[in-house]
Amino acid sequence: MAIAMFENANCQAASFALNTVGWILSMICMGLAEWRVWYMESSSAPSRGLACIGMWKVCTYQPNSLHSRNIECHRYTYSDTYLPLDIRIAQNLLLAASLLGVLGKVLMVTGLRRVYAGQLQKDTACNLFFASGVLSIIAGAFILIAVMWNHQSVMNEEGIHFPPSFHIPFRPDRQETGSTVLLAVLAAFLMMLSGLLTISFQLPSDSQVYPEVLQV
């Protein structure tokens, strides 16, 4: 009974590791700019080069010479009215995913501490793991929604009214999804996989603790 319990708990510890890696990747994705890549090649563009558009900043890369580029980044704030609806929603989804991920890890750590400490209240431990797993799955789903919305905006070739000081046109000559999307998909996959593993946790059916009977 004890061996089965700890093997199951060790599986949850591995799930916690997957969840942590996924959460870290999701936080990294929030800070990267390569969600969309805009190519500004025509002579009518304010400046030629490319722009990487992220959820919280945009970076422009303008060639200075054959082997060097001038990089300039601008960060967004919630008060920026030029941001389109899809980026605003994706910002909120990623923030919600990070908060849910933290809450899920807190619940999972609490459940693991109870199991390893030998506190075998089945309903309490299983409820903690179940809630943690659900939160992880929801967090992963939020990240996937942000990824799909970003992809849809690229496919529709939607433009953004950046301020003139950014020297970025409303719509580029061509655009594509950036490398950050792959990282975000991996983060969502790890968090959802962690959630499924966590939900599968079950204490052994014979884990009831009976009081000892002293024989005189």
C-alpha 125 chain-centroid distance? 26
pLDDT at 38: 93
Mean pLDDT of the chain: 82
Percentage of the chain lying above the pLDDT 90 cut: 48
Distance CA 73, CA 166 (A): 9
Say whether pLDDT at 185 is over 90.
yes
Say whether pLDDT at 138 is over 80.
yes
Question: In the chain, at which residue ranges do the beta strands (DSSP E only) sit?
Answer: 36-40, 49-53, 57-63, 69-75, 174-177
Look up the pTM and report it: 0.82
Percentage of the chain lying above the pLDDT 70 cut: 79
155 versus 129: the higher-pLDDT residue is 155
CB neighbour list of residue 54: distance below 8 Å, 6 or more residues apart: 31, 32, 33, 34, 35, 36, 180
The mean per-residue pLDDT over the stretch 82-107 comes to 93
CA distances to 51, 69, 160 from 169, in Å: 10, 19, 8
Residue ranges of the domains in the chain? 1-32+79-201
Say whether pLDDT at 20 is over 50.
yes
pLDDT at 150: 94
127 versus 86: the higher-pLDDT residue is 86
Tens digit of pLDDT for each residue in 47-72? Answer: 678 899 999 999 998 776 545 568 88
What is the second-level CATH architecture of the domain 1-32+79-201? Up-down Bundle (1.20)
Say whether pLDDT at 203 is over 80.
no
Tens digit of pLDDT for each residue in 123-132? Answer: 666 788 889 9
Say whether pLDDT at 119 is over 70.
no
